Structure formats: C-alpha cells, structure tokens
A = this chain, B = another copy of it.
Amino acid sequence: MSQADKSRQATDKRERILDGALKAFARKGFYNTKVSEIAAEAGVADGTIYLYFKSKDDLLISLFEDRMEWVIDRLTTELNTVAGVEERFRRAVELHFQLAVEEPDLAEFITVELRQSSKFMKEYKNPKFLDYLKLLESLVEDGQEQGVFRLDVEPRLLGRVIFGALDEVLLLLTFSRSPNRDVVEMTRQVTNIFIDGLRAR
C-alpha cells in the first residue's frame, strides 16, 4: 500500500465508518444493527469506531448531520440553476424522488429512521431536518410573494404537507426499486397536484 493510500485511508476512516453504518442501518435498522456489523462493513475493528464516535447513538446522529447536509447542499445547488417558482418546485420534487435511484441506502435510512431518531435521541433536535423543511417552506413563500401561489395557506404547514407527501412516495420508490422513468412520471403527477392546488385563483 502506498503512502498516499495509507494517508487517504486514515483520513477517510471516519467516512468509511459512516458509510458502513449507512449500509447497515438501511439493511436492518438502527436497533437491529450491531456495532460489530458496522465495523465489519467499514473494514475496521470494533473498538476503532469509538475513536471517532462517542457511542452508537452519536454515530447515528453524526450520520444524520452528514447526510442531511449533503442532501440540502445538493438541493440548494440545483435550485440555483433553475428559475421560476413552478419549475423550482418541480425540481425539488424530482430531486427528492431521485434519491431512491441515486442513493437507495440513504433513501431508506432517511425514510425509515428519521422520525425515530428525532424523537428518541434525547436532546437531539435534528437541526438539519428542520433546514430541509425550511427550504420547502421558502419555496411556498416565494410563490406567495410573487403572486403565483394562494395566500390563504401557511407555509409552515405546507412545508410539512409537502415533506410528508414526498417522503412517503420516496419510501414507496425505495421498496419497489422502481426504475428511473417512474420517477419522472411520479414527479409530474405530484408536482401537478401541488402546483394546481397552490395556484392563486
């Protein structure tokens, strides 16, 4: 092994553990996954995990932070390339569903573990999830400010409604391992419903 490989591996060890945890959690869920399985998946010793994370709980939380940040950055970046409220909305829906194709483990992890963890990890408020909600809310607000969307709905509520809808469909996509073109058609239908439901009259 070259020096470069070694140093890359050392630097990446934390990331390798997070990757292993994601795979394992996606497959069996947080509570049914043994720390030793994560270690095996990551190719490190059991004890090594505790050099990078305080506990199994801490590993779960770190994984959320890391991956949700990735998801949010990806969405933010994409939305910057798109103009127009409706088209931005469509793109957000598409990206959400796209996760089932691009990162199925992550899709499964988010859809299944998110609620649990934000409720039962004491002291953990899941700020990154709230950021994602805020992004959806701001799509609604922008539409309202531009007169495209009706004003008699609260963006706060709508953010939840939209997230819930997208997340449930993502769950469906993840389990049925649907092909890419389903994503396109589902995006169309879901986007139409919401855009037409939200349009100012």
Which residues of A are in contact with B by a Cβ distance under 8 Å? 28-29, 31-32, 111-112, 115-116, 119-120, 152-154, 157-158, 160-169, 171-172, 186, 189-190, 192-199, 201
Contact = CB atoms under 8 A, between A and B. Distances in A.
A139 B152 CA distance: 25
A194 B163 CA distance: 15
B153 A160 contact: no
A158 B115 contact: no
A166 B164 CA distance: 7
A93 to B, nearest CB: 11
B168 A163 contact: yes
A115 B111 CA distance: 8
Contacts of A158: 189, 193
Nearest to A182: B157
Nearest to A120: B29
Contact of A197 (B112, B193, B201): B193
A193 B189 contact: no
A115 B107 CA distance: 13
Contacts of A198: 193, 197
